Structure 1
Amino acid sequence: MQIKRSFLPSALAIGILFVAFNLRAPITGIGPIIHILKDYFNLSGGTGGLLTTLPLLAFAAVSPFVAQFSKKYGYGMVMFAGLILLLVGELIRSYTGIAGLFAGTLLLGVGIGIGNVLLPSIIKKEFVLHTGLMLGLYTLSLNIFASISAGASAPLTERMGWRNSLAVWIPLVLITLFIWLPQVFKRNHSASEPEKVILVNDKGLSIWKSMLAWWVTLYMGIQSFIFYGLTAWLPSVMISKGLSAEAAGNMTFLFQIAGLPTSLIIPSIAYKCKGQQTLTIINGLILISGLIFLIVSSSLWHYILAVTLVGLACGANLSLAISFISLRVSTSRKATELSGMSQSVGYILAAISPVLMGVVHDWTLNWALALGILVIASGMLWLIGFKAAGDVVIKS
């Protein structure tokens, strides 16, 4: 019996990491080949940006309801359903026409959105003594496969076409479904006690009226605004500066992989600090400096330095955003609900970025102003992060 008890958390940890492998790769693989899809389907810059924006809109739409479904059916079953949606979405996106390209992208976004909300709260509930470590491994897993997808997308497209390049992640979803299957049948996944779905603060107000919850939500949204804007258009920015499509893809790979160290380390540091203001200040300076340097740089080594700085900062941003969801609440149920709020509103903000940057580029015919928008957003993130990083929790 003791062996079984010790095995189940390990099986759950492996399942969480495999789910995380799937939560960014289907999106980050679009950016390096978006110019190919634009030419193939004759898309404008704004319409092309929708391929990155649609998953974010799906995240926003599904996030408020995940806590309710998890309470009713258990997080194991809900996550399994999310993986099924992700699988079907990837199939439709890869092997149908232009309508299927957008419909499949939206559907896989719903599946990913379920995982985005559930995993941080599962970690808080099931890994009480190692929350910081597990959050670090979770964000590291997100970034590793985001990096692989960004770096492999262009070469795979050259060798096997864009359809098979997008579909290359389907076997990983199938493997994850198999690994996650035992979690569907675990009895402790069902809701234990009836509980209000709406979080309240110490004055009995809805979480939507909690200023702290809004700071966390805005931090999640603006960091996603910056990340997904770069994910969608960094390859095109690099191509406009004279790099080849393959070199631009490599630069996007560098952007993703540079965030690996911070995504692993930051959650553990955050959990050891009473407040995280120092982390947000340092990270804000790195991000703003990197983006400005990217705008003004004109040589390969300067590009490498700028992209590395921005990647380091974006990896830390994501880790902090996810950590705030756990640090600013007292229970796993509250973490699920705050996660739903922060990701629903937050990803609406994030969804604006790829389309806005594409439209601004079409209007100005260069990327300086579009990147300048990200600099302004980084300044806002810096200020908001200071508010979200205080050593306080939303009380019930």
Structure 2
Amino acid sequence: MSSPPATAPARPVAPTVAPGLLVAAILLLALNLRGPIVAVSPVAETIAADLGVSAATVGLLTSLPVLCFGLATPLASLLLARLGLGRGVLVALGVLLAGIVLRSVGGLPTAVAGTLLIGLAITVGNVAVPVVIGRDLPERAGAVLGGYTAALNVGSMLTLSLTVPIAGLVDWRFALAGWGLLVVVSAVVWHRATRAVRGAVAVAEERPGPSTVGPVWWRRPIVWGLTLAFAGQAFAYYGVTAWLPLLLRDELGMTESGAGLSSSVFQIAAVVGAFGVPVLLRVCHSPRTAVLVVSAAWAALPVGLLVAPAGWPVWCALGGAAQGGGITVVFSLVVRRARDLAENRRMSALVQGGGYTVAAAGPAVVGAVHEATGGWTAPLLVVAAAVLVLAAAGTLSARS
């Protein structure tokens, strides 16, 4: 295992409020960093019929934000460096609310424009959270990262489970726009939790500590290894999230509402992995053990659905726990191995930028393979291949 970052004593002391309020702000923010995207999945056919477009076109409303996660990450990093973490995230939450509303008020052009705003806003939150945790909560980094990951998936679970029933009472437009209320609550709590942080802190974060030694951050092999590992993790996650409801309908004859609710098992089970990985990292001699456990559980999802689809609750629970543990272990290693706060932000940006750029192709690739083969065997093998990438790159990156 690596030693603590050499520059930890040099970190600026941020005049933040009580840690409990900051943790609450992080968790509420996390609820908004996946839910607005996956909310489209259970009502995709309804949206396609209303807008008069193909299912593949509606798939853009899921894949475009993930592409933003990759391509817009450098811009998000620069924004946070200029505005500071507190103000930068508040601006992003405002843009997120505007995107959620815009996506629901018109035809396809406004839906795409709103989706792009959603992707850009969430990108800022993705980059900010690991840096906030590393700066303000270093003693609790593992546990808070676990809670953050769990909240990401709880947000997905809520939208997957409730969007269809809400759309049945009103329509899909109000069902998607209604999730903006959660953004407002998050913005209020985030403002209260971070208002004491001054701009001087953000500037101080960019100054490397005097004891930082070694290669330039982007030349470190672990940076690229973690980027590749996260690419495998995120590709598998978004490929499964986009198509699991349809797979369950096709293979098990579920209704649309039942498939959306059943697929939420994959999201909520992430709570187990999110909190379990920090425990593994503390008790195991090497983080490689955590990577291997996560990879084995991830592989159980595609393999299990191939050989015994009737056992889908078990396979979805194992895969869900693994995807929650996967993101936790990757960013725990980012926080551990970053040598100062500026490197933490840059590593986080590169790992997410590269990983999400690859992951953006996940829904499209899995969907194209399904359409070409007319079944789910080949798409599940694609997911399994992505898990193998996570296992190989993650194991190499986790070496002491």
TM (normalized to structure 2)? 0.89
Give 1:38 shift: 2.7
RMSD across aligned positions (CA): 2.2
Q: Does the 8 Å contact 1:45/1:358 carry over to 2?
A: no
Shift in Å, 1:246? 1.5
Tell me if 1:334 matches 2:381. Answer: no
Measured after TM superposition, the shift of residue 282 of structure 1 is 1.8
Whether the 8 Å contact between 1:45 and 1:362 is mirrored in structure 2 is: no
**CA-to-partner distance for each residue in 1:237-282, whole Å, 9 max, x for gaps?**
1111111111111221111111111112313432555531111112
* TM-fit CA distance, 1:363: 1.8
Q: Distance in 1 between matches of 2:224 and 2:314?
A: 34
1:388 matched to 2:388? The reply is no
Q: Is 1:295 matched up with 2:306? A: yes
2:372 equivalent in structure 1: 363
Q: Deviations over 1:48-78 (max 9, x none)?
A: 3222110111111221133332222211111
Q: What whole-Å deviation, never above 9, does each CA across 1:121-149 have from its counterpart, x for those lacking one? A: 10011012211121122112112121111
Relative to structure 1, the CA distance from residue 196 to residue 6 in structure 2 (aligned partners, 3 Å threshold; closer, same or farther) is: closer
Counterpart residue number, 1:394: none
Structure 1 distance, partners of 2:332, 2:200, is 22
2:274 pairs with 1:263: yes
- SS in structure 1 at match of 2:399: coil
Change (3 A) 1:297 1:83: same
Offset at 1:188? 6.1
Equivalent residue, structure 1, for 2:50 = 40
Query: Which of 111-120 and 238-247 deviates more?
Result: 238-247
Match of 2:323 in 1: 314
1:139 aligns with 2:149: yes
Q: Percent identity?
A: 29
Provide closer, same or farther for how the CA distance between residues 355 and 334 of structure 1 changes in structure 2, counting only shifts above 3 A. Answer: same
Query: In 2, distance between residues paired with 1:89 and 1:145?
Result: 17
Match of 2:238 in 1: 228
Length, aligned pairs only: 382
Give structure 2 stretches of 5+ with no counterpart: 1-14
> How far 1:331 sits from its partner (Å)?
2.3
Supply the distance in 2 between the matched residues of 1:277 and 1:158 (Cα, whole angstroms): 46
CA distance in 2, matches of 1:154, 1:194: 44
- In 2, distance between residues paired with 1:350 and 1:230? 11
In the TM superposition, residue 40 of structure 1 has moved relative to its aligned partner by 2.8
C-alpha contact 2:205 2:341 (8 A) present in aligned 1: no
- What corresponds to 2:112 in structure 1? 102
| Residue number in structure 1 paired with 2:166 | 156
Match of 1:284 in 2: 295
Q: After the TM superposition, which residues 92-241 of structure 1 pair with which residues of structure 2 at under 5 Å, given as runs?
A: 92-182=102-192, 183-184=194-195, 186-187=197-198, 190-193=201-204, 195=206, 203-205=214-216, 207-241=217-251
CA–CA distance in structure 2, aligned partners of residues 265 and 375 of structure 1:
22
Task: Tell me the CA shift for residue 211 of structure 1.
Answer: 1.7
2:25 alignment counterpart: 15
Q: CA offset at residue 386 of structure 1? A: 0.2
Tell whether the 8 Å contact from 2:247 to 2:376 is kept in structure 1 after alignment.
yes
Q: Name stretches of at least 5 consecutive residues in structure 1 with no aligned partner.
A: 392-396
Query: How far 1:342 sits from its partner (Å)?
Result: 0.7
Aligned partners of 2:141 and 2:332 also within 8 Å: no
Pick closer, same or farther for the CA change 1:298–1:337 going to 2, 3 Å: closer
Distance in 2 between residues matched to 1:188 and 1:59, nearest whole Å: 25
Q: 1:204 to 1:380 in 2, by over 3 A?
A: closer
Deviations 1:65-120 (A, max 9, x none): 33332222211111111101101100101222111111111111111110000001
